[in-house]
Chains A and B, each alone.
Chain A
Amino acid sequence: MIQLKYVLVILLLLLTAQEKGKPVKWALTKSCSLKVNGSTNINKFSCVIPEYTEPDTLVLYTHKGGEEVKISGQMILSIKSFDCHNGVMTKDLRKTLKAEQFPKLTVTFISLSKYPNPARDESVISGIVNISIAGVNKRFDVAYRCTPDGLKGITLVGTKTVNFSDFNIIPPRKLGGMIKTNNMLDVEFTLKAGILN
């Protein structure tokens, strides 16, 4: 009876192992970037972190019989790298995002709806990410536009509209509220990765 139990456990382990495909590694390159578009009642601003100075690796776990891809890995960006193409706006955004207290913005990749096919021209997929700003973590569904860069590279452009209030940040208001920053921010992050295996 005990032997049968062992056999069942081993069979179960084998079956589970078979369901998981081989992990695929994506090496994030320096060309990764993050863009934030927002507006006030008097102007629009577009701020960008133009390059990723801490290249990292994402590990994607595909599952046989299912399209969803689990991911482990993250992009860690420095808030002080934000450039709004205007010194005043840059300083204000850094202050708003509490750069002194929380110098890093982190995008943790959780999953993709399916593994992007490098053979196809362009595809649209969805995914889940955790974004951490000013010490607050928030999970978001993100739409990605995938473009293959040959067979060994891929570009994913993820877009999501978030709110300052999602991260417990009060949008800046000046002159007694006569100049107000809108709560909504359009975030666009570009992942350029080399496929390692």
Chain B
Amino acid sequence: MKKIIASGFIAGTILFIVCYGGLFLAVRFFPALFFEYNNPLFNSDGSRDVLFYMHSFIISFALSWFWARFKSLFHGHFLLRGLEFGLVYALVALLPVMWISFSSLDITLLTVVSWFCYGLMQAIIAGIVFAKLNPM
């Protein structure tokens, strides 16, 4: 349990820096990719900003528990284990969610694909951290 929380916290901190830093730079250098977010579908009054920034910790703790349960299924170098873990998560959890999001929300395919890639990247980074910190 202690390992789940510790590695979850470390992965969450890394994801927070990498993902929000990456997002900040992407908004700055590729603004055209973000026009879609002017959609009223997205919260615009700032009331959920804290929840938005907590996301990296929510996903890292969830993935940390998932890793602890199924890490014996992933073999090889820690980078490879992290990569495989990320791909499994993307296939099992992300793909169906993105599918239903695209089919039911007024968003473009580009937006959904970017969310999928973002989630995949998060899971791979978290997987690498877990494979290093909590290998056995």
Contacts and interface: CB of A to CB of B under 8 A. Distances in A.
A170 B47 CA distance: 11
Nearest to B37: A174
Interface residues of A, number: 22
Closest 3 CB pairs of A and B: A42-B31, A172-B44, A176-B52
Given A170-B46, A173-B46, A174-B37, 13 more contacts: A40-B38, A42-B34, A43-B31, A43-B35, A88-B39, A88-B40, A92-B39, A172-B44, A173-B44, A174-B44, A176-B20, A177-B49, A178-B24
B53 interface: yes
A178 B42 CA distance: 12
B89 to A, nearest CB: 22
B37 A179 contact: yes
Nearest to B45: A170
B23 interface: yes
Contacts of B35: 42-43, 86, 88
B27 interface: yes
Contacts of B46: 170, 173, 177
B13 interface: no
A178 B44 contact: no
A22 interface: no
B105 to A, nearest CB: 12
B24 A92 contact: no
A20 interface: no
Contacts of B36: 88
A95 interface: yes
A194 to B, nearest CB: 39
Which of A86, A95, A175 has most B Cβ within 10 Å? A175
B31 A95 contact: no
A41 interface: yes
A91 interface: yes
Do most interface residues of chain B lie in helix, strand or loop, or is the interface mixed? helix
Do most interface residues of chain A lie in helix, strand or loop, or is the interface mixed? mixed
23 contacts: A42-B31, A42-B32, A42-B34, A42-B35, A86-B35, A88-B35, A88-B36, A88-B38, A95-B44, A96-B44, A170-B45, A173-B44, A173-B49, A174-B44, A175-B27, A175-B34, A175-B37, A177-B46, A177-B49, A178-B24, A178-B27, A179-B27, A179-B34
A89 interface: yes
B101 interface: no
Given A42-B31, A174-B38, A179-B37, A92 B44 contact: yes
Nearest to A171: B44
A179 B38 contact: yes
A152 B46 CA distance: 51
Given A173-B44, A178-B27, A91 B49 contact: no
A38 to B, nearest CB: 11
Interface string A31-52: 0000000001111010000000
Nearest to A42: B31
Interface in B1-49: 20, 23-24, 27, 31-32, 34-40, 42-46, 49
A178 B26 CA distance: 10
